[in-house]
Amino acid sequence: MRVTPLLLSLCLSLSGLGVVRAAEPASDRAERERIKAEQARVESTFAARERECRDRFVVTPCIEEARRDRRQAMENLRQQQEILDDTQRKQRAAQRVEEIRNKVSAEEAKRREAEARQIQRAAQKAETAASAASEAAAAASAPARAKALPKHPAREKPVPDPQRAVEYEKRQAAAQEHRAALARRNAERAAKGKPPAKPLPAPSAASGS
């Protein structure tokens, strides 16, 4: 079989499919455009070969070979398309899983924050209740403490005046001396048979307080 330039181009295109499949596409869109261009080139090559085959004496085998080459090339491109679609589905699934994970993490964070706020409110309520109970206990014990205290505090004793104390002692001594003198006079008069003498006015014995 004669190798024509069109057949050689088709073979080179088919041989390069493995290299293209192994290469990592820059993006899904670029890869899809490449596959579409490859499909158009395969169809164009097949149409050219079909015209060339009709110019030959043996038409059917030539066309069948061209169709077989086209079918193989299109199958390779279809596989590449499936690989691309499968990769895209996996990427979307991974993205969806990541979104769900982020959503769950956000909901978990909100739940924990709500629990923390609830615990804080409970602690504040407990602290307020304890403070109120302490104030109530203090108010209840206030009357008892008031009863325990003396109603009238003890008065302070006045500080005695030294001068008045000396005068008081002098008056007490003078009164005592007066009583002794009166007793002596009465004894003398009784010895002489005379009635007792009238008592003399005694010096004042009032307290100096």
In a domain, 155, yes or no: no
Out of 77, 98, 119, a domain closes at: 98
Q: At which residue do the structure tokens 């990427």 appear?
A: 91
**Residue pLDDT, tens place only, 102-142:** 988 888 888 888 989 889 888 888 888 888 888 888 787 76
Q: At which residue do the structure tokens 């085959």 appear?
A: 53
In a domain, 190, yes or no: yes
Domain that holds residue 168: 162-209
In a domain, 154, yes or no: no
Give me the average pLDDT of each 10-residue run along the chain (209 residues).
47 47 63 90 90 80 89 92 90 91 87 88 87 82 64 57 82 86 83 69 51
| Gyration radius of the chain over CA positions | 67
Out of 98, 122, 148, a domain closes at: 98
Out of 81, 98, 115, a domain closes at: 98
Tell whether 10 and 93 lie within a shared domain: yes
- Whole-model pTM above 0.85? no
**Residue pLDDT, tens place only, 40-52:** 999 999 898 888 8
Domains identified in the chain, total number: 2
